[in-house]
Amino acid sequence: MKIVFTGPESSGKTTLAEILCQKYPFTLVREFSREYMKKTGLNYDRQHVYEMGLLQLWEEKTTMKGHPLICCDTDLQNILLWQKVRYGSYDEHLLKMWLTSPGDHYFVCRPDIPWQPDSLRENPLDRGELFDRHLELLNTYKMPYTVIEGNLEQRIAFVESNPSLIHYRI
Pairing of strands 2-6, 70-73: parallel
Q: Is residue 170 part of a domain?
A: no
> Domain span at residue 45?
2-163
Mean pLDDT of the residues in the chain: 88
Q: Is residue 58 part of a domain?
A: yes
Q: Is residue 117 part of a domain?
A: yes
pLDDT at 165: 58
The band of 166, judged by pLDDT with boundaries at 50, 70 and 90, is: low
pLDDT at 87: 94
Q: Are 17 and 5 in contact (CB under 8 A)?
A: yes
**Which of these, 91, 88, 155, 86, lies nearest to 123 by C-alpha position?**
86
Q: Is residue 169 part of a domain?
A: no
3-state SS, one letter per residue, for 42-87: CCCCHHHHHHHHHHHHHHHHHHHHHCCCEEEECCHHHHHHHHHHHH
pTM comes to 0.89
Mean pLDDT computed over 63-79: 93
pLDDT at 24: 86
Q: Is residue 168 part of a domain?
A: no
Name the CA radius of gyration of the chain, rounded.
Answer: 15
Q: How many domains does the chain have?
A: 1
pLDDT at 121: 63
Q: Is residue 78 part of a domain?
A: yes
Distance (Å, rounded) from C-alpha 82 to C-alpha 80? 5
CATH of the domain at 79: 3.40.50.300
Mean pLDDT computed over 56-81: 93
